[in-house]
Chain A
Amino acid sequence: MGRTFRNLFVAGTVVLWLVPVYLLVVNALTPVASYTGNASWTSHGFALWDNLSTAWTKAGIGHSFLQSLMYAVVCGGAAVLIAAMAAFAVVVLPLPKPAFWFWLIYSGTLFPLQMFLAPLFGMYADGNLYDTRLGLMLVYVAYAVPFAFFLVRNQMTTMPPEVTEAAMLDGASFWRIFWRIHIPLMASSLGAAFIFQFTAVWNDLLFGITLSRSPDVQPVMATLSNLNNAYASSGPPVILAGALIVSVPTLVVFLTFRGLFLRGVAATAR
């Protein structure tokens, strides 16, 4: 009895979860010309490549796609490195009041983004950073550091101090200890932190629409959102094709590094 119920529950869940994915794909296939105005359950023809290329070039998804990829890789990587250094300082190195430093850096995740926006807008306008790539990248790094720090720090505390002591006895410098011992041993949580922060930067919409305006700077989610507001002109199949495109990087990263991601999260949860 219990087993049947369980199987039904799982089957039902799988169907419920697949229906939106199915709708996404089928309607992204439909040629814009034969789109009836209503969502359809079957595809009227096959125009996936046309829709994808319209979204990529005419709707400008392609350009901001590459921009966002750059933002996500560079900012995610920089944030993880900076966070790892800070975790090293707080956990391993002599530092007065480590708990204070922990909370100072971690506090970045506690506040909602909205709390930073108005002053950031002002600062960016004054500092000529508004609507520049550098400006967005700086704020993405700052936004990504606290949580990466939290993940890496949690794993670093589980490392036996003897490892560091042994290296110090051998005369290794902090620099060497960091790069040769901690970075390799923290690989799983560093990887998990990178995946998290890559995804966070890639998915950002709010900073994108408040701190930038021109297509040359705007990240891909802002472009997708603009495309969605112009619903009537471009046609739903193109928008859904755009949604497919912007989902590819996170999907690829997640499926490729699933093992690493899971190990990193598991190490953190311990």
Chain B
Amino acid sequence: MSSAVRAGAAATPVKPGRARLRIPTRTPHQAAAEAGSGRLGGRLAGVPWALPAVLFVGVLLVYPFFRSVYGSFFDDNGFTSHYVGLDNYTRLIDDPIFGRSLLNTVLWVAGTLLLPVLVGLAIAVATHRMRRGRIAQLVVVLPYAISGAATAVLWKFILTSDGTLNQVLRAVGLDSLARPWLLEWPASTISMIVASTWQATGLNVVLFAIGLRAIPRDTVEAAELDGATGWRMFRHITLPQLRSMSVVVVGMAVVNSLKAFDMVWILTQGGPARSSETLALTMYREAFLLFHVGYGSAIALVLSVIVVACSWLYLRRQMPGTSPR
């Protein structure tokens, strides 16, 4: 912090006159650079300001990331380690648990991308300009404030074999549908995705509602004059106008689908027989419970590659101005 103060104090005031003549169409970056770098603390003036963030992220996130990549080439049981090359990765291919775990992760990502986003959009559109629609929105948002662990504890209650869901199914005569939800795959994974939809949808409703309110009335009225109603209105007016908000919603859904850990850890601990594990959980079990640290790192790297590839493809298209090129 003190270095930041010094950098600020060292900047001598810019002489008025030069900047006044310019048409203000540049970023402060360019302005500062042009105004004479010496007087503004040089072209590196930003470095001390960015340094704390870079240190935290660099030391505690980026360095461990690369350390993890390196560690995935070793057979490490927490006490001894020796180089095994790509063995950890070839082991993944034959490991049936890894295959199931990968499948579960894909289900989670697809499920948490599709369900909360589509349901959220439907609720936001339905409650938009509806009497008491705000109250309905608030009810759906409520679970967002409940933490993942608390949500999982609550849903365990609903989904266990003698839980409330099965009680309801038996009460209405649908005994055949009652099942031990958490003890059979794929019912376990699907019901956990539903539980997480219950929690995650609210935020999307709020975000889409903001987006809907921002649509200019004129646009809607013009479309109405042209005879657009219902689905056509939604498809050609509402949806395109919600684009910038959808970017945020989908971006957050990607982050949320990684949170799959809490829910799975508390509801099934990945069981029975590791059938409902996601990659996040398989990695945790291998590295911290079975002490296969190198193997765990390899799993984490596979997960990272999937996530980074998705985020990269997505962000590169959606965030102009930050592309490294």
Residues of A with Cβ closer than 8 Å to B? 2, 6-7, 9-10, 13-14, 17-18, 20-21, 23-24, 27, 37-39, 41, 82-83, 85-86, 88-96, 98-123, 138-139, 141-143, 145-147, 149, 157, 160-162, 164-165, 168-171, 173-176, 178, 199, 202-203, 205-206, 210, 221, 224-225, 228, 236, 239-240, 242-244, 246-247, 250-251, 253-255, 262, 265-266, 268-270
Contact B300 A112 (CB under 8 A): yes
| Distance A175 CA – B40 CA, assembled complex (angstroms) | 12
| Distance A202 CA – B145 CA, assembled complex (angstroms) | 11
Would A82 and B146 be within 8 Å (CB), given that A112-B303, A224-B153 are in contact? no
Question: Nearest chain-B residue to A96 (Cβ)?
Answer: B43
Contact A17 B44 (CB under 8 A): no
Contact A169 B16 (CB under 8 A): yes
Chain B, range 132-165, C-beta contacts under 8 Å to A? 133, 136, 139-150, 152-158, 162-164
Q: Is B98's beta carbon under 8 Å from chain A?
A: no
Contact A246 B150 (CB under 8 A): yes
| Distance A93 CA – B162 CA, assembled complex (angstroms) | 61
Residues of B with Cβ closer than 8 Å to A? 4-5, 7-9, 11, 13-14, 16, 19, 24, 26-29, 31-33, 35, 37, 40-50, 52-54, 56-65, 67-68, 71, 122-123, 126-127, 130, 133, 136, 139-150, 152-158, 162-164, 167, 198, 206-207, 210-211, 214, 230, 244-245, 247-248, 255, 258, 261-262, 265-266, 279-280, 283-284, 287-288, 293, 296-297, 299-301, 303-304, 307-308, 311-312, 321-324
Which residues of chain A are within 8 angstroms of B19 by Cβ–Cβ distance?
A: 165, 169
Contact B29 A95 (CB under 8 A): yes
| Distance A250 CA – B162 CA, assembled complex (angstroms) | 30
Which residues of chain A are within 8 angstroms of B148 by Cβ–Cβ distance?
A: 203, 205, 221
Question: Nearest chain-B residue to A21 (Cβ)?
Answer: B142
Question: Nearest chain-B residue to A219 (Cβ)?
Answer: B149
Q: How far, in Å, is A164 (CB) from chain B's closest CB?
A: 5
Contact B163 A39 (CB under 8 A): yes
Q: How far, in Å, is B152 (CB) from chain A's closest CB?
A: 8
Question: Nearest chain-B residue to A103 (Cβ)?
Answer: B324
| Distance A165 CA – B162 CA, assembled complex (angstroms) | 67
Contact of A94 among B33, B54, B255 (CB under 8 A): B33
Contact A243 B150 (CB under 8 A): yes
Q: List 29 A-B contacts (CB under 8 A).
A: A6-B130, A10-B130, A13-B126, A13-B136, A20-B198, A23-B154, A41-B167, A85-B50, A89-B47, A92-B29, A94-B37, A95-B45, A112-B300, A118-B288, A118-B297, A118-B300, A120-B64, A121-B288, A141-B56, A169-B19, A175-B4, A178-B49, A203-B148, A203-B262, A221-B148, A224-B150, A236-B157, A250-B145, A255-B145
Question: Nearest chain-B residue to A16 (Cβ)?
Answer: B198
Contact A174 B245 (CB under 8 A): no
Question: Nearest chain-A residue to B248 (Cβ)?
Answer: A269
Contact B56 A269 (CB under 8 A): no
| Distance A21 CA – B322 CA, assembled complex (angstroms) | 42
Contact B149 A90 (CB under 8 A): no
Contact of B157 among A39, A91, A141, A143 (CB under 8 A): A39
Contact A14 B52 (CB under 8 A): no
Which residues of chain B are within 8 angstroms of A89 by Cβ–Cβ distance?
A: 46-50
Contact A265 B62 (CB under 8 A): no
| Distance A247 CA – B288 CA, assembled complex (angstroms) | 28
Contact A95 B47 (CB under 8 A): yes
Which residues of chain A are within 8 angstroms of B47 by Cβ–Cβ distance?
A: 89, 95
Contact B262 A221 (CB under 8 A): yes
Question: Nearest chain-A residue to B283 (Cβ)?
Answer: A114
Contact B29 A206 (CB under 8 A): no
Contact B156 A269 (CB under 8 A): no
Contact A104 B139 (CB under 8 A): no
Contact of B211 among A9, A108, A160, A269 (CB under 8 A): A269
Contact B16 A112 (CB under 8 A): no
Given A250-B147, A251-B145, 9 additional A-B pairs, CB 8 A: A7-B130, A91-B28, A105-B53, A108-B62, A112-B279, A116-B65, A138-B56, A164-B28, A225-B149
Which residues of chain A are within 8 angstroms of B122 by Cβ–Cβ distance?
A: 9
Which residues of chain A are within 8 angstroms of B139 by Cβ–Cβ distance?
A: 14, 17-18
Contact A266 B214 (CB under 8 A): yes
Which residues of chain A are within 8 angstroms of B323 by Cβ–Cβ distance?
A: 99
| Distance A118 CA – B69 CA, assembled complex (angstroms) | 11
Q: How far, in Å, is A144 (CB) from chain B's closest CB?
A: 9
Which residues of chain A are within 8 angstroms of B146 by Cβ–Cβ distance?
A: 243, 247, 250-251
Would A17 and B143 be within 8 Å (CB), given that A94-B42, A173-B9 are in contact? yes
